[in-house]
Amino acid sequence: MKFTRITLPILLATVFGCTGTDYKRSADDETYAVIAEKSSAVPGMTEQVVIDETPEVTLAGLPVNTDSFEFLDTEADSEVGATILSLNQALDFAFRHSREYQNQKERLYLEALSLTFDRYRYTPTFSASGNGEFEWDAQDQFVTDMQALTGMRQVSTVETMDAGTSLGARYLLKGGGAIALNLTNNLTRFLTGDASQIRSSALIGSFTQPLLRDFGRAIETENLLQAERDLLYQLRDFTRFRKQFAVRIASQYYSVLLARETARNNFAGLNANQLSLEREQAFQQEGLRTLLQVGRLEQSALQADLRWTSSITRYKRSLDDFKILLGLSASDNIVLDDNEMQLLSETGMSIPDVSVEQAIELAVQTRLDLYTELDRVQDAARRVDVAANALLPALDFSLVASVPDSPGGSLGELDFENAVYTAGLNLDLPLDTKLERNDYRRALIDYEAATRNYLLARDTVVLDVVDTYRRMTEARKSYDISLASVQINERRVEEAELRAELGLGDIQDTVDSQNDLTAARTDLISSIVDHNIAKLEFWRDVGLLYVDDSGQWEEGTNEPR
């Protein structure tokens, strides 16, 4: 005999009443509310963490370059019509369009989204289900033939319909207990034959509470507490990322400009070499220079040409990489603002009015990542307690109340006068604790490792501050040396040129002085860039670099309002 069943959930319309858009909006509202709630505990945290509102990349309205620069050789025409991007505009683009920045926002969102479920577990949760079944006997051909041969009376088809509903509620207590309530209704109706119906209902309520293992708020809510702290850690990481990202954008911006200036200096050095070569070749034709002497200058010109060509390649490659970092496409045509290099030079080479000792003390007090490492030590200590609790016997108290349906009553009518109450204890002795033992030992090791990681992080913070301070000092000294070197080599080149024009110069002096001047000019610009980048990194490592939603920063010992 074969049966066909049709299941009809009675809450189908309710379930499908909510669209995907509704669920997305609900998740966003709750998640962003959690982020806003926690953000006040993190200094410098932004409120702009919306993940689905990345504006379209457009360069419209920005100034356009109309000049062609000879020092870029074959790449000169590629920059005609390119959009000029200032540092502030580059920072704004990066904070609105960067793929890396978007990834960080999504990581923060997902951490907060996870917390919403951990919190939800400790709120009353409800469930509802229903089913309906229609059954009948389907006689196959074999049974029909046998009945015809034997003359047996045809058996009429029996049809029945079953329906049931279940409503439930559950509430997890933060002390380890749980309260549950469930109401069920079942109805069976015979549609043919002896038409009748069978119905039953029941209301069951229960309360369970661990008394040893898994007992207490500290044990039960460990996962919730860790989820709360994990979101705090992610907020700190995101805030520090924003500082690092702003410094990185500025560093790359200045590095691209430095590469451009290097190409310009190498081109100027090549032109100077070419002029010297033409002059010396003219002297050679007059018999005043030997082939060996002129050949030395020719070799220097070839090397200068190669340096110039290589510097153009490095510049264009660094510019392309910078476009990707900002979130632009490879086809977007931009150039950086040369005026930014002038503004950078005008900021001077001053060192922050903070001693190394003061900077270290400030960093230890303000670095968010260091606070996180210290908090992780506390996390590891709590996990030791949780693992120790798992070694205890399981002793659970339970209380159950069962209310049957009322005899002779309608469906769903309950008989509270005949309710049955049951109380009991359930004991589970820890005879097999190999896994729990290993978890406990692992928790102890993790605690020691977390302690070492914090001490290592603290030492790393100290070294970061010391290193950036040293690099600022080094760049300042490099600037002074390069400035003096430029002045010296300008005099050397002037004297070498004068002596060469009189036919008294030495080819090697001409070559060396010109190459040294080109290198000194590049080193001078490089020292300015290195110093300002090191100063930004210093404030970042001290923890006193504050970044707004457009990537603009303020530095110093007072947090901006």
pLDDT 10s digits, 35-66:
999 998 999 898 778 887 667 888 888 999 99
pLDDT at position 2 over 80: no
pLDDT at 6: 38
pLDDT at position 453 over 60: yes
pTM of the model: 0.85
pLDDT at 297: 83
Q: DSSP class of residue 74?
A: G
Cβ-contact 181, 145 below 8 angstroms: no
More confident residue, 7 or 379: 379
pLDDT at 192: 64
Over range 231-254, report the average pLDDT.
95
Helix (H, G, I), strand (E, B) or coil at 128: strand
Please tell me the CATH code under which domain 41-122+221-391+435-555 is placed.
Answer: 1.20.1600.10
> β-pairing, 83-85 with 334-336?
parallel
Task: Measure the CA–CA gap between 183 and 185, rounded to whole angstroms.
Answer: 7
Helix (H, G, I), strand (E, B) or coil at 316: helix
Provide, rounded to the nearest whole percent, the portion of the chain with pLDDT above 70: 88
Over range 424-450, report the average pLDDT.
95
Over range 209-213, report the average pLDDT.
95
pLDDT at position 4 over 60: no
pLDDT at position 7 over 50: no
Q: How confident is the model at residue 397 (pLDDT cuts 50, 70, 90)?
A: very high
Q: Which of 549, 258, 199, 246 is nearest to 404 (CA)?
A: 199
Q: How confident is the model at residue 8 (pLDDT cuts 50, 70, 90)?
A: very low
Q: Which of 199, 208, 348, 318 is nearest to 257 (CA)?
A: 318
558 exposure class (CB count in 10 Å sphere: 0-12, 13-18, 19+):
exposed
Over range 342-352, report the average pLDDT.
86
Over range 185-212, report the average pLDDT.
77
Q: Hey, what amino acid is at 467?
A: D
Task: Measure the CA–CA gap between 465 and 517, rounded to whole angstroms.
Answer: 34
Q: How confident is the model at residue 511 (pLDDT cuts 50, 70, 90)?
A: confident
Q: What is the number of residues in the chain?
A: 561
Q: Hey, what amino acid is at 447?
A: Y
Q: How confident is the model at residue 186 (pLDDT cuts 50, 70, 90)?
A: confident
pLDDT at position 448 over 70: yes
pLDDT at 335: 95
Task: Measure the CA–CA gap between 532 and 351, rounded to whole angstroms.
Answer: 9
Task: Measure the CA–CA gap between 245 and 540, rounded to whole angstroms.
Answer: 10
Over range 134-150, report the average pLDDT.
61
Dmax over CA atoms of the chain, in Å, equals: 139
pLDDT at 5: 37
Task: Measure the CA–CA gap between 63 and 59, rounded to whole angstroms.
Answer: 9
Q: Which helix (H) or strand (E) holds 198?
A: strand 197-210
pLDDT at position 230 over 70: yes
- Phi-psi category of residue 73: left, alpha or beta, with phi > 0 → left and psi -120 to 50 → alpha: left
Task: Find where tokens 């015809």 sit.
Answer: 148
The CA distances from residue 134 to 131, 198, 213, 328, 411, in Å, are: 10, 15, 47, 62, 19
Chain centre distance of CA 532? 27
pLDDT at position 289 over 90: no
Determine which of 161-165, 191-195, 323-327, 509-513 has the lowest per-residue pLDDT on average.
191-195
Q: How confident is the model at residue 407 (pLDDT cuts 50, 70, 90)?
A: confident
The CA distances from residue 320 to 139, 153, 283, in Å, are: 77, 90, 45
Q: What are phi and psi of 139, to 5 degrees?
A: -80, 130
Average pLDDT, the chain: 87
Cβ-contact 511, 300 below 8 angstroms: yes
pLDDT at position 531 over 80: yes
Determine which of 119-123, 138-142, 434-438 has the lowest per-residue pLDDT on average.
138-142
pLDDT at 200: 76
More confident residue, 374 or 287: 374
